[in-house]
C-alpha cells in the first residue's frame, strides 16, 4: 500500500502558533523551546503555508519543511510559530489539507495597540516613513481600491480582525483544536499560560516558566489617545463578535 494513502501512518507537524503579529508569539516560541517534551522548528516563522509561489503549482515536497524538526517528528509534539497563518487567506486551508488534526494556538492582542506596534516596527526598519495615521489612511484606500488583494505590507488594520480569523478556522477545524489566549496573559502569567498551552498539547508542565524579554521596539511617542479612541470604535464590531465567540470580556480593548 502506498505511503500516501489516507490510512497509512504519516508523520505530520502537530501544532502551529498563529494570531497577532506583535502579540507575543516570539516569546511563546522561546518558552516552548525550553521544554524537553516539545520540539519547535529550527527557525521561528518558517512561512511555509503562506508561500504563494511554492503552492502555485502542485503541492510542494514537504521534506524541507519536515527537516526543520530533524528526527523529532513523530516522537513528541512538533510545532512552529508563524502568526500570519491565521490571517493569510489561503494558509489555513493548506494546513487543513496537510493535517486535519492540526492544533492552533492563537495569541490575540488589543488590535489598536497591535496596529501601533506593527507600524512602529516598520518605521524602525525603514519600511515606512509615513506617520501612523497617514499609514492607516493609505491602508484603507488600498483596501477600498483592491478589496480582493491581500497585502502583508500595509496590514496594520486588517490583521486586527480576530473574530473573522477565528470564524475562518471554525469552518475548517473543530473548536477543540483551537486554543485562543490573550497576549497579556502570557506577559503577566507565563507559567500558567504556558501550562495551558502544554496541557492543550498533551504535555506535562515542567515547573516555573521564566519570562522572555519581548521584542518591543522603542517608540518615538505613545499612541495618541484620540487615535486610540478612533481605532477602538473602528474595531468594536469585531471585538464584540470575538467576545461572543470566546466568552471573553474585552471591555479594556474598547476603553
pLDDT digits (tens, 9 = 90+) for 82-133: 999 999 999 999 999 999 999 999 999 999 999 999 999 999 889 899 999 9
Full 3-state SS string of 7-59:
CCCCCCCCEEEEECCCCCHHHHHHHHHCCCCCEECCCCCCCCCCCCCCCCCCC
Position 214 scores a pLDDT of 60
**pLDDT tens digit string along 88-102?**
999 999 999 999 999
Q: Is residue 216 part of a domain?
A: yes
Position 7 scores a pLDDT of 32
Whether the per-residue pLDDT at 147 is higher than 80: the answer is: no
* Residues of the domain holding 99: 15-254
Q: Is residue 8 part of a domain?
A: no
**pLDDT tens digit string along 182-218?**
999 999 999 999 999 999 999 998 889 998 876 566 7
Domain count of the fold of the chain = 1
- Which domain CATH number covers 109? 3.40.50.300
Mean pLDDT of 168-182: 97
Position 148 scores a pLDDT of 65
The closest alpha carbon to 114, from 244, 238, 245, 241, belongs to 238
**pLDDT tens digit string along 16-67?**
999 998 899 999 999 999 999 999 999 999 999 999 999 998 889 999 999 9
Whether the per-residue pLDDT at 142 is higher than 80: the answer is: yes
Q: Is residue 7 part of a domain?
A: no
Q: Is residue 5 part of a domain?
A: no
Amino acid at each position: 500500500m502506498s505511503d500516501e494513502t489516507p490510512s497509512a501512518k504519516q508523520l505530520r507537524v502537530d501544532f502551529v502558533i498563529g494570531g497577532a503579529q506583535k502579540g507575543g508569539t516570539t516569546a511563546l516560541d522561546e518558552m516552548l523551546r525550553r521544554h524537553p517534551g516539545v520540539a519547535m522548528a529550527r527557525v521561528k516563522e518558517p512561512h511555509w503555508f503562506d508561500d504563494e509561489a511554492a503552492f502555485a503549482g502542485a503541492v510542494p515536497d514537504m521534506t524541507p519543511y519536515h527537516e526543520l524538526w530533524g528526527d523529532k517528528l513523530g516522537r513528541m509534539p512538533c510545532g512552529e510559530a508563524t502568526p500570519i497563518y491565521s490571517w493569510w487567506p489561503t494558509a489555513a486551508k493548506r494546513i487543513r489539507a496537510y493535517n486535519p488534526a492540526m492544533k492552533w494556538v492563537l495569541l490575540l492582542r488589543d488590535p489598536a495597540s497591535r496596529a501601533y506596534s506593527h507600524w512602529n516596527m516598520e518605521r524602525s526598519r525603514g519600511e515606512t516613513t509615513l506617520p501612523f495615521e497617514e499609514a492607516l489612511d493609505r491602508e484603507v484606500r488600498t483596501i477600498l481600491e483592491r478589496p480582493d488583494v491581500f497585502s502583508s505590507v500595509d496590514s496594520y488594520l486588517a490583521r486586527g480582525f480576530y473574530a473573522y480569523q477565528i470564524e475562518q478556522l471554525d469552518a475548517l477545524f473543530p473548536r477543540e483544536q483551537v486554543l485562543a489566549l490573550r497576549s497579556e496573559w502570557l506577559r503577566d502569567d507565563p507559567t500558567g499560560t504556558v501550562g495551558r498551552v502544554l496541557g492543550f498539547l498533551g504535555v506535562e508542565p515542567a515547573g516555573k516558566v521564566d519570562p522572555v524579554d519581548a521584542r518591543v521596539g522603542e517608540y518615538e511617542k505613545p499612541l495618541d489617545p484620540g487615535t486610540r479612541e478612533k481605532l477602538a470604535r473602528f474595531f468594536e464590531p469585531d471585538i464584540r463578535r470575538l467576545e461572543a465567540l470566546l466568552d471573553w470580556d474585552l471591555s479594556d480593548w474598547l476603553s
